[in-house]
Every structure is written in structure tokens, then in C-alpha cells.
Amino acid sequence: MATAAEQQTQLVETSKRLAAFQAVKDYLKPEYTRIGIGSGSTVVYVVEAIAALGPAVTSTMTFYPTGAQSEELIEAAGLRLQYISKLPADQQLDVAFDGADEVDDDLNLIKGGGACLWQEKIVAASARQFVCVADFRKLSSRLGTAWKKGIPIEVLPMAAPRVLGELRRLGSLDPRVRPGLPGKAGACVTDNGLWIVDAPFPPLLLPGDAEAAAAPDSRPAGTWTVDELADRLIKIPGVAEIGLFYGKNGLQVASGAQKPVAAYFGMADGTVTVKTA
């Protein structure tokens, strides 16, 4: 007899798989040749769904990873691997699939809960269409509502103390350098050899929110719209990239938009909810 915790885990995994298979069905066209594959536990099901299409569909496709985990996933599934560094500057991926830690009403994302965000952002911004795949726990109206661990920020280790100070000044509540795996001394090290700082903020406003009409300085400390905060964080010296995927529209164009054109959520009742830009 499964415990309640085991049943919840099973429900979440089933939901991720449902979302992944639906997203692949809707967005992976047989004529596509370049596909981005993101990181995390949900993307495992994306690769499963793609591999299930068989070589008749996938043999003409090349898959671009966002880090060591997705590189292994692509290879283990027998799919053709190529690096984003080999993508000519004047070309784009046809589509990129990736997970998220939280998705708001405007399809802004928090990513990096598994310490992957920089390469993910590059791959997402290299795609004509970026599709987010998640489970019901990630569906939220405002970022920072369900995901309380903070915004993941990839930093140069020598700059970490200064970055933490800047984050406190911006109103982050107890930002911290993420520790490594239990039993491993030291900080969590990313695929890029950098550290992750997790910076909790109050839920991030969207432009239409009443509080957003007031000037940032006149709001309670740490109360920002997604765009305002992202623009501040990325300018802190020592910050390499931030786990906010945001922007003013959902269209993936050569300008490097980061928001998905669609987000798929596997729901607890066995359905899939789709939010589009």
C-alpha cells in the first residue's frame, strides 16, 4: 500500500508525463530539424515522448542540450546530439522544450531550481518557439507565490558576498548561496563552474496590478514587477544570468525573447492545461 507521500509523487510524475506527451504532440512537427532540450525531471518525459516517435520521425532531427543532464538524455535515447555553439548565428532552432519551477499569468518563468538556467536561456532564446512543460504545482498567478525558495541567480563565486549584499538592498529576504548535495561540502557548482544564489522576494507584480502603478521606491521593500526586478538583477556585477525568463511578449524572435509561446501543465485530475502567449 503506497503512502500518501508516494501517491503524491506518483501523481506529480504522471502529470509531468501527460504534459510532456501533449506538448510534443502539439509542437514537434515531423519537418523540424533542430530541437532544443532543456533540463530537469520533466524534460525526461519530453525526451521519452520524442523517442517514442521512432527513427522514422527523429532520424532527420538534431537535438541541442542545455547542459550535462540533457546531453546524457539525448544520447541515451539514441537521438542525434549537437551543441548550441555550432548553431550558425543566422539560424534558429525550430522549437525548444523545457521545464520551469513556476509560471505566472503572463508566462514569465522562474527556472534554475536544479541549477540549470544560463544555457537554458541561451537555447530558449535561440528557438523560434519555446515551449514550457510542467506539472500542476508550477501553475501560479504571480512568481514567488508557490516557489518560495527564491529566484535562482548564477554568480561568479568571488562576487557572491557582494551579490548577496546587493540582493538584500533590493529587498530580498535572506538570499543565500545554494549548498551542494547533502554530504558534499561547499556550494552547488553549475555546469558552467559558477555558483547559484537563491534570492526570495515577495510575489512579483505584473504590469496590470494595482500596486505596480506606484513608483518602485514608494512600495513595500522588495516589491517589484517581474521586468523591474529582472532588469536590476542582471545588472549586478558578478551576476552571470538570472533564473527569471521574462519579456514583453511571447514571440520567439531573433531578438532573444525568453518567454514560452505555450506552457503545458499536467493536472492532478489527469487533464492538461495549456496557457498560450
Q: Would you tell me which residues interact with ligand R5P (CB under 6 A)?
A: 38-42, 98-101, 111-117, 120
Q: With both helix axes pointing from N to C terminus, report the angle between 68-76 and 43-51 in degrees, rounded to the nearest 10.
A: 20
| 114 neighbors 39 (Cβ within 8 angstroms) | yes
Closest contact distance (angstroms) between CB of 66 and ligand R5P is: 8
Closest contact distance (angstroms) between CB of 235 and ligand R5P is: 22
Dihedral sign for Cα atoms in the order 214, 245, 192, 69: positive
Closest contact distance (angstroms) between CB of 41 and ligand R5P is: 3
Active-site positions read: 120
The DSSP bridge pattern shows strands 262-266 and 272-276 to be: antiparallel
Closest contact distance (angstroms) between CB of 146 and ligand R5P is: 12
Nearer of residues 136 and 224 to ligand R5P, judged by Cβ? 136
Q: What is the spatial distance between Cα 43 and Cα 67, in angstroms, rounded to a whole number?
A: 12
Interior angle at CA 51, CA 268 and CA 44, nearest 5: 45
Of all residues in the shown chain, the one whose CB is closest to ligand R5P is 40
Nearest to 65 by CA among 104, 39, 95, 101: 39
Nearer of residues 17 and 111 to ligand R5P, judged by Cβ? 111
Nearer of residues 194 and 212 to ligand R5P, judged by Cβ? 194
Nearer of residues 61 and 117 to ligand R5P, judged by Cβ? 117
Is 225 exposed, middle or buried (CB count within 10 Å of its CB: 0-12, 13-18, 19+)? buried
